[in-house]
Structure 1
Amino acid sequence: MNAITRSKARFCWRPVLAVFLALLVDGCATGNSNPTTPGTESKPQVVATSTIIADLAQEVGGEDIQLTGILKPGTDPHVYEPVPADSRVLEKADLILYNGYNLEPGLIKLMNAAGGNARKLAVGEVVKPLQLDKGQGEVVPDPHVWGSAENAATMVNAIRDGLIELSPKDREKYTQRALELTGELKQLHSWINQQIQTIPPNNRQLVTTHDAFQYYGRAYGIAIAGTLIGISTEEQPSAQTVKRLVDSIKKIGVPAIFAETTINPALIKTVAQEAGIKLASNELYSDSIGAKGSDGDSYIKMMEANTRTIVEALGGKYTPFQLKK
């Protein structure tokens, strides 16, 4: 092959190589933007609103469902504003799992307006709610039902039944996974009770940013002594509200109060400073599990982390949670 022929050969390969590289890059880009992997299209398409429900659903559904969680760890469901991509996800769903009791008002509104033929299951509403007084005679159901591990077990069984209805052929697998998870939750429930009992009785009082721990308090014998805002983080506390909470904290004499991971801690820090009291070094997980790799990146780990934070800050003696197989 002479020099001219070699030159032409190199020239001819250039457009072919360019097309190949373009296809390669395009293929990589498409793979990154589309969460659906080959083979998952035939699996039931399940959408969960909150991170807590998504975690429980993944435990029960395992590899037999294609799960999409709308909210990301650390996102506040009370004030979340849906984006167009959320509507598309909901429209493609076979089953939508949401908390209910108006925990995620923006997503509930979008879900009810979206097209598609998805079944809808309000997982939190299988639990009989506590009724909270918002003032001026308005009583509303408290949506934070997962605060009790026993309630979480009830939610797991509801998720199991929803998945079985969607895909009866996988009944055995859903049932077995749910049985294992509810057994772990039963152990967790007993462990939390034991941990709270190590706190001196006078210190078993919880002051937090918003009213998300009523179920936890009722289940484990710790009083909710005060909150900066009510059950929804949409509320904005007044200067008078802050002053009342400061006065209340001084009166009850708890050793620490608590911030939360999904809410800006600035105001509760101000309360702690004005009351002359310690703000616990770790924030509580309230409406969301933690980011992957954190000490609260699953429901069970979240409950363990919260209990450790509460026990250590209020003068108890913490013993790590260990599952017994």
Structure 2
Amino acid sequence: MKKTILLLAITLSFFNCKNDSKKDNSKLNVVTTTTMITDLVKNIGGDLVSVNGLMGSGVDPHLYKASEGDVTKLVNADVIFYNGLHLEGKLVEVFEKMKTQSPIALADGLDKSGLIGSDYFASNYDPHVWFNISYFKQFAKKVTQVLAEKNPENAARFTENEKNYLQQLEALQAKVSSTIETLPKEKRILVTAHDAFNYFGKNYGFNVVGLQGLSTATEAGVQDVQKLATFIIENKVKAIFVESSVPKRTIEALQAAVKSKNHDVVIGGTLYSDALGNAGTIEGTYIGMFEYNVNTIVNALK
């Protein structure tokens, strides 16, 4: 990280004298961190923006470190969007060193009174706010506002894109609620690799239990595994879930611990938590990911 920050300082000093010309004057050069934010900006910006996402499918934002290539992207960006609330913990120092770009933390605009507290992050809040669709709508509004300010000539188009995308998010909310209503409340226990789904659980009545807690930077110990195995048995949990951005060995160890106590629990599937699926797939979009997760959870726990 020290090497990256030094490189950033040197690179920034070089670019302080650069002019504002772009390779393509018709497009804003936007850099994003997580795949969820990348997908959001593409929906709002459309063909009026060029989006460079730092993180790809399956990448854990808790552990992500900026590469030399990332630094170049950042210093050349017209706009930088990131989640905030210390989700991208190892990038925070890099952002703090930036003088001209002023990276925008989308979660900073949320009403803190509605957020879930957390001692794992310097922000003291659970940063996995995209699992509350209403919060993601607020992200969309902020992105629209910023893009319109940066490119006022196309403000109307950004606003129209936002309107269309918000309608899609409203349809997603209705569909998700309908699907979850088919799952009895007593079966709404969601056991995953780490606590990425607390906002989801709060909205839809799930008891969410993560093996590693809120941050994947915290390793689960033997006692954590044994304690959660007992919880699964006592609550007759039918299925537990792997996460795409977290090594599956932790959930496999949990499954083995349950079996060692003469009980069975199945791995109900892979959920997308801190990153979307591969580009070009249903799970590669925020809306597709959310619907896929809900279907996987409900089908496994019924």
Fold conserved between structures, TM > 0.5: yes
Is contact 1:132–1:142 with CA below 8 Å preserved after alignment?
yes
Give the corresponding residue for 1:297.
Answer: 284
For 1:268-315, what per-residue CA distance to the aligned partner results, in whole angstroms no more than 9, with x for missing partners?
111122223433342000001101233301000000110010010011
Say whether the 8 Å CA contact 1:78–1:105 is kept in structure 2. Answer: yes
Is 1:57 the counterpart of 2:57 in the alignment? Answer: no
Structure 2 residue aligned with 1:131, among 109, 116, 121?
116
1:120 aligns with one of 103, 111, 115: 103
Equivalent residues in 2 for 1:83-94 (5 A)?
Answer: 83-94=67-78
TM-score normalised to structure 1 length: 0.80
Q: Give 1:1-325 correspondences, 5 Å limit.
A: 40-114=24-98, 117-129=100-112, 130-134=115-119, 140-224=124-208, 226-275=209-258, 276-315=263-302
CA deviation after TM superposition for structure 1 residue 41, in Å: 4.5
Task: List alignment gaps of at least 5 residues for structure 2.
Answer: 1-21
Q: What is the Cα deviation at residue 169 of structure 1? A: 1.1
CA contact (8 A) 1:257 1:280 kept: yes
Kindly indicate whether the alpha-carbon contact (under 8 Å) linking 1:121 and 1:162 is maintained by their aligned counterparts in 2.
Answer: no
Measured after TM superposition, the shift of residue 68 of structure 1 is 0.7
- Contact 1:102/1:108, CA 8 A, preserved across alignment: yes
Indicate the SS of the match to 1:141.
coil
Going from structure 1 to structure 2, the CA distance change for 1:80 and 1:279 (only over 3 Å counts) comes to: farther
Tell me how far 1:88 sits from its aligned partner.
0.7
Q: Equivalent residue of 2:242, what SS? A: coil
CA distance in 1, matches of 2:116, 2:226: 26
Query: 1:85 deviation in Å?
Result: 0.7
Deviation at 1:154, TM superposition (A): 1.1
Work out whether residues 268 and 297 of structure 2, in 8 Å CA contact, stay in contact via their aligned partners in 1.
Answer: no
Contact 1:147 1:213 in 2 (8 A): yes
Secondary structure of 2:51's match?
strand
Q: Check 1:110–1:139 CA distance in 2 against 1; reply closer, same or farther (3 A cut).
A: closer
- 2:284 is paired with a residue whose SS is coil
SS of residue in 1 equivalent to 2:136: helix
The Cα of 1:126 is off from its aligned counterpart by 2.2
SS of equivalent residue, structure 1 residue 180 = helix
Q: Which moved more, 1:206-215 or 1:126-135?
A: 126-135
Three-state SS of the structure 2 residue aligned to 1:68 is: strand
More deviation, 260-269/196-205: 196-205
Distance 1:168 1:120 in 2: 19
TM-score of the two chains, using structure 2 as the length reference: 0.86
Structure 1 window deviating more from structure 2 (92-101 vs 265-274): it is 265-274
Q: Matched residue pairs, number? A: 274
Tell me the SS of whatever aligns to 1:210: coil
In 2, Cα distance between equivalents of 1:96 and 1:201: 41
Change (3 A) 1:41 1:71: farther
SS state at 1:259 partner:
strand
Mapped to 1, the partners of 2:235 and 2:147 lie a distance apart of: 47
Structure of larger gyration radius: 1
What is the root-mean-square deviation in Å for CA atoms of aligned residues?
Answer: 1.8
Question: Does the 8 Å CA contact 2:241/2:271 hold for their aligned counterparts?
Answer: yes
Q: Is the 8 A contact 1:87 1:111 kept in 2?
A: no
Where do 5+ consecutive residues of structure 1 fail to align? 1-37, 316-325
Residues 225, 257 of structure 2: 8 Å contact kept: no
Q: Is the 8 A contact 2:43 2:161 kept in 1?
A: yes
Which deviations, in whole Å up to 9, do the C-alpha atoms of 1:216-269 show, x marking residues without a partner?
111122221x21011111001111111111111111111111110000011111
Cα separation, 1, equivalents of 2:24 and 2:264? 52
Decide whether the 8 Å contact of 2:244 with 2:271 is kept in 1: yes
Bigger mean CA offset, 296-305 vs 213-222? 213-222
Q: Percent identity?
A: 31
Contact 1:280–1:309 (CA<8 Å) still a contact in 2? no
